[in-house]
Amino acid sequence: MPDQNSHIALKEWAVTIEALASGQQILLMRKGGIHEESKDFRIIHREFLLYPTYEHQKSDLLKPDHRNKLDEMLKSDIDVDKITFSKWARVEEVIEISDQQNLDLLNPFHIWTDEYAQGRLHWKPMVPISIMLLRVYTIESVTTVSVIPEYLGCTSWVDIIPNIDTSKLTPVLTDKAFQEQVDSIKKALGLTISV
């Protein structure tokens, strides 16, 4: 389990965090961010808060059965001056993908369209996509904080002020259900699965 408090957050589309929070998917794809220091994404933190973002979400980059969730989300009254933290995650495993064939094999395990995934792969083609397999937890003490200028922009990692209480967490998926998803992803990619 994490320290009693967390202050590092990873930005991700709110609709994707919803899929992680419901146990529909356990993976995130990362390659880089416009304002990352080297423009390459680095997994510099293995444990972090999930920071829901609403910028750049596009329904045509989601599979059809997930578009209505985004539409509902965007119709709701979103306070852009506040951010609510209700989920915490740990990176359990990282798989690097460099080719279209393996990326296509991941299609059943996420909510994005092929175009979204392919766009990630083809941007900076010499750099592999990092597939993070995340164990996601619900934070008992949901906390809302004010957005400050340091949180803004197209960067992945954010240092949150103040610390968020993560002393009580509940896993979104049972150990068994999580391991089944990990094994399914690894089996699809032809990787060794745990016994």
Tens digit of pLDDT for each residue in 18-43? 999 999 999 999 875 433 454 555 67
Confidence of residue 180 (pLDDT cuts 50, 70, 90): very high
Strand partners, 10: 50, 157
Residue type, 83: I
pLDDT of residue 126: 78
Q: Domains (ranges, CATH) in the chain?
A: 5-188 (2.30.130.30)
From the number of C-beta atoms within 10 Å of its C-beta (0-12, 13-18, 19+), residue 126 rates as exposed
The rounded distance, in Å, linking the Cα atoms of 71 and 178 is 28
Residue range 138-148: mean pLDDT, rounded: 94
* Cα–Cα distance for residue pair 115/59, rounded to 1 Å: 12
Nearest Cα to Cα of residue 189 among 113, 107, 90, 125 = 107
The pLDDT tens digits for 106-118 are: 999 999 988 888 8
Q: Which two tokens stand for residue 31?
A: 């390659």
User: Is the N-terminal amide bond of 162 cis, ω within 30° of 0?
Assistant: yes
Residue 78: per-residue pLDDT: 81
Reply yes or no on whether the pLDDT at 179 is more than 90.
Answer: yes
Nearest to 40 by CA among 123, 98, 100, 160: 123
Q: What is the pTM of this model?
A: 0.88
